[in-house]
Amino acid sequence: LASFGEVESVRVTRRFFSTVECRLTKREPVALLLAGSMREVDGVGTVLPKRAGRGDIDLPVITGISERSIRKESGRRSLTRALEVLRLIRAEGFAPARQVSEIHVDGDDIDLVWTGSGTLIRLGRDEHAIRLRKLKAVSTVLLDREQRPAVVDLRFDRQVVIR
């Protein structure tokens, strides 16, 4: 049972006389990965088998990682970085399913696409936690008004560039 990709853990316990209890924990998807085809990914970066999917369209989509590279260390690293940004987004109080439609990995850079407005949010290569706090500070002013910016660039230390 543990060899199935959608199974996170299996616990088998022997009970009285002839009873065996088997408890399965299923992996829960946190994002969709667009790498050749659309696949679900759990919080630790396990790409779930196609048969396991719930087909949940409310999950953010991770793009920029090719189907071939996902099997290599560089692709796994990119996926891990995207999932870390997703975790940080949740930690800052954003609701990824409602607010983030895409997490795009381009080499070392990570960009977000905001749901509804299509605003591109440039996070850059590092210090994502600091940049997401900066986004939270400006989001109520910028992203909740009628005219939303096309780009919010958070890659600079002491400024936010808005276009």
CB atoms within 10 A of CB 126: 13
Q: For the residues 116-127, what does the mean pLDDT come to?
A: 92
Closest-CA residue to 45 (of 87, 11, 3): 87
pTM for the model: 0.86
What tens digit of pLDDT does each residue of 29-45 get?
999 999 988 999 999 99
Classify 108 as helix, strand or coil. coil
More confident call, 52 vs 149: 149
- pLDDT value at 143 more than 70: no
Do 39 and 70 touch, CB atoms closer than 8 A?
no
- Stated as kind and residue range, the H or E segment containing 151 is strand 151-153
Closest-CA residue to 96 (of 110, 107, 109, 83): 83
Distances (CA, A) of 102 to 20, 23, 24, 64, 129: 44, 34, 31, 10, 18
